[in-house]
């Protein structure tokens, strides 16, 4: 096994998401209904400390895309705040908080923690990509 690959692996068993951050994300999801909502999550290690709410330019209830402009802006803010982007959030207005096949595809190119909110049962779930997509626990 190549040492560099080892290092690249996301070594996270859980992510810390405070009630206040959950509330911000939940409100964002409700505001964007019936479409999926999305956001970048900033933090240190496993603690999400700030969010950057983004627009779903697909305006779709089953997919989301963040514009390149907002991605650049989001990563610039991360640099300024010295808080890396540790996660990507999006909502599933009409389905469970489980990654779709499109989500899984994009998890390969964006290997951070993926947090999904289900509008159906108001649940948050978090996933990382190892050899396959695995769920990790969320604590507040
Ligand atoms: Zn999804």
**Ligand 1 center to residue 36 CA distance, Å?**
8
**Ligand 1 center to residue 21 CA distance, Å?**
19
Domain ranges of the chain: 3-139
Q: Output the CA angle 45-47-50, nearest 5 degrees.
A: 115
Which tens digits make up the pLDDT trace of 21-54? 999 999 999 999 999 999 999 999 899 999 999 9
Q: For the whole model, what pTM was predicted?
A: 0.91
Q: Does domain 3-139 have CATH number 3.40.50.1820?
A: no
- Using DSSP, state whether 99 is helix, strand or coil: coil
Q: Average pLDDT in the 76-85 region? A: 96
**Ligand 1 center to residue 123 CA distance, Å?**
13
CA distance 124 to 115: 7
CA distance 109 to 129: 10
The length of the chain is: 140
- The pLDDT of residue 2: 42
Question: 103 and 82 in contact (C-beta within 8 Å)?
Answer: no
**Ligand 1 center to residue 3 CA distance, Å?**
31
**Ligand 1 center to residue 11 CA distance, Å?**
22
CA distance 133 to 129: 4
**Ligand 1 center to residue 102 CA distance, Å?**
7
């Amino acid at each position: 096994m190549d040492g560099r690959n080892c290092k690249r692996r996301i070594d996270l068993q859980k992510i810390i998401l405070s009630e206040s951050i959950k509330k911000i994300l939940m409100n964002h999801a409700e505001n964007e209904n019936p479409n999926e909502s999305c956001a970048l999550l900033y933090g240190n290690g496993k603690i999400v400390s700030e969010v950057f709410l983004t627009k779903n330019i697909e305006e779709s209830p089953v997919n989301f895309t963040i514009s390149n402009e907002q991605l650049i802006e989001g990563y610039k803010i991360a640099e300024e705040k010295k808080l890396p982007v540790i996660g990507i959030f999006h909502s599933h207005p009409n389905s469970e908080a489980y990654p779709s096949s499109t989500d899984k595809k994009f998890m390969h190119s964006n290997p951070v923690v993926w947090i999904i909110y289900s509008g159906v049962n108001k649940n948050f779930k978090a996933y990382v990509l190892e050899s396959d997509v695995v769920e990790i626990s969320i604590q507040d």
